[in-house]
Structure 1
Amino acid sequence: MNLYTRRTAVVSLGAALAAGLTAPAAARDTVVHTTGPAPLRRAHAHNDYEHPRPLFDALDHGFGSVEADIWLVDGRLLVAHEEGDLDPARTLEALYLSPLRRRIQANGGTVYRGHRLSLQLLIDIKTAGDPTYRALSRVLRRYRELLSVCSAGRVRGGPVTAVVSGDRAARAPMEAERVRLAFYDGRPEDLGTAAPASFAPLVSASWSEMFDWQGVGPMPTEQRERLRQLVTAAHSERRRLRFWATPDLAGPAREAVWTQLLDAGVDHLNSDDLPGLETFLRTAH
């Protein structure tokens, strides 16, 4: 467990509304949620914004982490995977920050009622890192009451923890901030460096670039050992570890990879299949 997750506020898992209610979807998304099953800290909604109900589909499945790709366009932060999909109405604020504020206010200061969790909002920068992060920092300041904050190296947890990924040029303006409302998503090469966990609490890597094994047959011993060494190195520095580009087609191969990730202690499992990953995590071990 890293520095800031130990300090997070009590949060809660939203349960579905009673059957038969006919309130509009937007209204259902902002009501107070009662205590339900424990949220899934290790579940990460990759490309979350591509689901029918960005953010809320992941919350309905109890996910502890969601990912949004952002593009700086005419001073606004738009959310999309590809440039051709950009829509001026789909901003980071409209899809994530404003709905989270409404939900947290309705729940009395929590995302998931009755459970200790700070929802990770992984923000993947797709345009030039320096100007995009500066714009992001200005936006995050408008939601300061929701967010984990780092001031002079000390971290205070909030209901939501923003972590910045993508273009590495975002690092310099982040490091220059005395008070930060976001944290940095490192890479394996950042392990063993001077960057503290209070700056880079997460390390992410491409599974397919680091491992040949894709879940068919036993995992080769040397690759299993390499995986465990990476987990040990990250955890020894109080950082969490995540892989993207893991197999994500339903079936035995995907479950084999997920099982190895769990067994090794990897902190986040990456998927676009929200119900599939929820079922796996709630029934695993």
Structure 2
Amino acid sequence: MTSTRTDRWLRLDGTTNTRDLGGLPTHDGGTTVPGRILRSDNLQTLSDADVRRLVEDARLREVIDLRTTAEVLLEGRGPLRAVPAVTHRHFSLLPERGHHTDVFAVEEADLPEPPADWVETVLPRQTAEHDREELPAVRSYLGYLAHRPENVLGALRALAAGADGAAVVHCAAGKDRTGVVVAFSLAAAGVPHEEIVADYAMTADVIDALVAKLAASPTYAEDMVRRDVASHTPRAETMDRLLALLDERHGGPLGWLTEHGFGADEQEALRARLRG
């Protein structure tokens, strides 16, 4: 396994978990191309310098936001929303009560005060009986695929069709929802499973700073203090198990994509996005 902990991090003022998916080895002896797809935690607190670095230096042109509608509205408009060159797309991976066809078209001035029970807009997920013995995080990831497959596919299609420049995919912490979408992207690019697992586990390197950042936001503070840092830390065995289940049940991540209508042409487009 190659070292993934050297030069892939983007050290920004307003995020703690931003890194480039370039530079990873592939089955055919190649590597993924830097500057195409980034993964990150929440982008709400980017500094002016961060915005310039992302837009001018990294040539960021698209944001793929995996948070729920309530998270987006409660956190408000991040600074990248003011940049005309950057397109924002929203694909919640959790089942929700109600929906917005374009959550980014809703201006804060048009909103009432968010309800105190905003978390209840996220509907309870049902766990298949044969998955009940899996680790909680694995159950959550399987839930994204079972309950919001159309949005997993929508996020991947947005990444595959991205214009010239970079795209960033993010959620709140950049580890769970982002981790699943990134795993499929890397699998399409031909990155071996062990490297996908290693990329996923990298978030553990910054987990203390990540938890502290989210704890400073009223949206996430309660969840951060209710559980200790260890419970938020991603573990390699979680992603390893998810990939093993995809292998067993679908012939791998690409098999799952094919079964859900993301066929060979789209898979090749996603592969080309990361391979050049």
Please report the TM-score for the alignment, with normalisation by the length of structure 2.
0.32
Please report the TM-score for the alignment, with normalisation by the length of structure 1.
0.31
Which is helix-richer, 1 or 2?
A: 2
